Structure 1
């Protein structure tokens, strides 16, 4: 690794918090020791066949229930098609998909398809509310490379609470790229949704997602909604699709025996070639795909370390992996993976600058549902500069793919290259992105950009942009009625 890349990677794991003395910060000490006595829950797969009209139909129902997370206690939870979390959705490039999302809760919510490139009216942001008892039916054609994306609520002011209660699930996209990678869901292709929780004595979720600098930093880490988990490995190599589904916590992932593993993909899909690492960092909303090799009969623990970052407090054991005495052979990790096209801004590309300060505004403005902040021509490639003058943030842009050009003047670590949609923005830093916008135009239906620390997003650290036909940017009204998009 180039020295500057090494220093950048180190900064991701060791940057001291500017707000470490801020009494509003809510650090969490590690939870009780765990014995890994609970089998890891693997979310069910929802992978319907196409109908006679060529459309694949998915049905999701938001509902309340109770879940045993801690031994002997029942926690009130929310979920999709069940009491807690949701099924893993799966579709392929070129598929026509139609969702029927029913809100069985007692309050309004939405469902956002995080990482999906689709029309703004189908995006599931705060302008596509689903009232209690109503059904929302977005539809689009999958037109992007294979990737691990996810879905979660996005009601303005309530996203943190709805995700914290359990509304989240993975959405896996496939394409026809013929690579010899682990792909047997639940066997050698395993989702890992990481979330931290606090519990009251009666077993209910505790804490206020909208208090403190970051909201809740829990002292119990759940993997796929499972506390104290183990997984029995039956193949020589396993592909883990890791999602940071937490409200605020950063995870610095490594194995207790310091083994190396290969990163093969991040937010936007496969890298050009695997990257061998011993540790990596994920902020809320980011995804990564890794391949880990196992020897027969061995046991190893996946951990997260406290490296001094303000949103990564605590050392936690996450998951114990127990290899069978005989393992099914698996091919080596391919030397080459995909060929993600470089996102290159043309000479004279528009540069947009965004300043993050505090936890409730971008460029000095709090989110306003009726205000368009940016107007972008369809198909543009722009440079976005994100300046952070305070404690840690991260930054997510709906609809787009981007490449990280610089993190405070240095290149990103190799595992953070490729196409992404969410990026860590460390304290006192500037991150530069080359952002590729899609071609779905709509001058009145906006997409969002925001900090994906959900307490910050809900407090107003979010803006809106529309994509329009090139040449019509100056014809767009910057004021829109609330809840454009409807049901």
Structure 2
């Protein structure tokens, strides 16, 4: 009996120690998963503004840009260089700018040591010019897509889209803005002096490992890579001197997995004037705007002389359960950018009460509906296949797409070529931040969204566009499908295989 008792005591002690170790490890994992930089940023680096890309106009009126994908090094931290990729430089790329009605051609040269692509995110253009995984640019090769700008003024962007490697290519620095202008927006009294009272803000989260970025996913991070700091336009701990009463912030979430909930440290209101694909019908006063990877928002902030405020990302509570919020970034918070108003500010006009009419279908003319179930294993139960057309749509028609996430984790949904209208969120009228032109939407767990979109073509049965989760780890793992636009009665062709 004494021997049995000793064995029981020993076994009990071992189990107790193991339980304490497991419990302690879990507690450490839980507490260390939350990231916040509130009050920790010194804001000692002036915000870099991406230069406007140079261009020329050919005899036929085509505006021509040149982009070169290249490797380089950049000193994000004083005295320490990090290996990077960029367009026409060491990191990120210049801002391309064109007007509605212009013909444009972008000559893309790939000077990297591996194939890549350049996708024009949010742009309406022919499928062969889209820059998806079917338009790979081999190392040392040049690709020169051409199209006519035929959509309203908007803040779009460009980034690589190689199948299975998009996350890595974007993380290394291949991204830039593409701003569209039109006559209607030019007539509005909005801040529009680029780099002065109209600022592009490319927001990314990062980690460093010596001379390289650290792109490793932490334990339980099912959303993808989540960094421990943010930077804007490639600037860590940035500040910006403001000399005008009102400043326009073109926010782009260029992170690969992190969703931000933007607001200001003093909880001030700001005016939302535009979403992914252009201006709203009228400005809306908000204190928070949530942007998942790929989404954009145009905001106008009113400043008072001599004051300072910090653009901040606040915790979020719509990722799913507490486990998802903690390990996929919902509990995290960041100080992103400090705005410093001068002692004297140039006066700015009041914002217009009306910004214009939306060029979006309202769903009343939809000829059919489609449903898309979002899961890590694939969309509608199928992982991406380069040689399979998943959906065929008819040129000139309107459809409603219903997107549902019951996967227990956050996802979002991006459709190439079109801007859509969000008709419903869980059967209800969408909030104001989802009432403008959209090409990407955050779809938290337990959410169903109904979208209306019109397919203008041109028809191309052999070259598909993509729809996918823009959490790029999910995209690379197969959360993507393909659709082609055809003429009435035409059948889909068979797209080419994976060239990467």
* Fold agreement, TM-score > 0.5: yes
Q: Distance in 1 between matches of 2:380 and 2:433?
A: 30
> Aligned to 2:295, which of 280, 286, 308?
286
> Aligned to 1:447, which of 459, 465, 473?
465
Query: Are residue 430 (structure 1) and residue 438 (structure 2) matched?
Result: no
Report the counterpart of residue 264 of structure 1 in structure 2: 273
The range that moved more, 63-72 or 180-189, is 63-72
Q: Distance in 2 between matches of 1:346 and 1:313?
A: 40
Query: Are residue 341 (structure 1) and residue 359 (structure 2) matched?
Result: yes
Q: Distance in 2 between matches of 1:210 and 1:152?
A: 25
1:42-441 alignment, distance < 5 Å:
42-177=49-184, 178-200=187-209, 202-208=210-216, 212-308=221-317, 309=319, 310=325, 311-346=329-364, 349-357=367-375, 359-390=376-407, 391-441=409-459
Given the two structures, how large is their TM-score scaled by the length of structure 1?
Answer: 0.91
Q: Distance in 2 between matches of 1:440 and 1:373?
A: 18
Cα offset, 1:431, TM superposition: 1.0
Q: Distance in 2 between matches of 1:375 and 1:174?
A: 31
Cα offset, 1:463, TM superposition: 0.2
- What do residues 75-94 of structure 1 show as CA deviations (whole Å, max 9, x unaligned)? 11110000000001000001
- What do residues 215-260 of structure 1 show as CA deviations (whole Å, max 9, x unaligned)? 2100010111110100000111001100000001111011111111
- What do residues 285-312 of structure 1 show as CA deviations (whole Å, max 9, x unaligned)? 0001000011111111110011233343
Q: Please state whether the residue corresponding to 2:80 is helix, strand or coil.
A: coil
- Determine which structure has greater relative contact order: mean sequence separation of CA pairs < 8 Å that are 6+ residues apart, divided by chain length: 1
Cα offset, 1:471, TM superposition: 2.4
Q: What stretches of structure 1 move > 6 A for 4+ residues in a row?
A: none
Q: Are the equivalent residues in 2 in contact too, given 1:209–1:455 (CA < 8 A)?
A: no
Cα offset, 1:349, TM superposition: 2.6
Report the counterpart of residue 492 of structure 2 in structure 1: 476
Q: 1:348 to 1:138 in 2, by over 3 A?
A: closer
Q: Are the equivalent residues in 2 in contact too, given 1:229–1:318 (CA < 8 A)?
A: yes
Report the counterpart of residue 29 of structure 1 in structure 2: 35
Q: 1:450 to 1:209 in 2, by over 3 A?
A: farther
Q: Distance in 2 between matches of 1:423 and 1:274?
A: 20
Structure in which a larger fraction of residues adopt helix: 2
Q: 1:210 to 1:440 in 2, by over 3 A?
A: farther
Q: Distance in 2 between matches of 1:380 and 1:347?
A: 8
Q: Please state whether the residue corresponding to 1:74 is helix, strand or coil.
A: strand
- What do residues 49-84 of structure 1 show as CA deviations (whole Å, max 9, x unaligned)? 422220111000000111111222111111000000
How many residues get paired? 460
Cα offset, 1:416, TM superposition: 1.5
Q: Distance in 2 between matches of 1:348 and 1:219?
A: 44
Q: Please state whether the residue corresponding to 1:42 is helix, strand or coil.
A: coil
Q: Distance in 1 between matches of 2:431 and 2:356?
A: 18
Cα offset, 1:31, TM superposition: 4.6
Q: 1:438 to 1:28 in 2, by over 3 A?
A: farther
The structure number with the bigger radius of gyration is 2
The range that moved more, 130-139 or 300-309, is 300-309
Q: Please state whether the residue corresponding to 2:76 is helix, strand or coil.
A: coil
- What do residues 346-387 of structure 1 show as CA deviations (whole Å, max 9, x unaligned)? 466311011112x23011100000000000000211110111
- What do residues 160-211 of structure 1 show as CA deviations (whole Å, max 9, x unaligned)? 00000000000000001111111110000000001001112x2521133698
Cα offset, 1:480, TM superposition: 2.8
Given the two structures, how large is their TM-score scaled by the length of structure 2?
Answer: 0.89
Q: Please state whether the residue corresponding to 1:350 is helix, strand or coil.
A: strand
Q: Are the equivalent residues in 1 in contact too, given 2:362–2:423 (CA < 8 A)?
A: no
Q: Distance in 2 between matches of 1:385 and 1:217?
A: 29
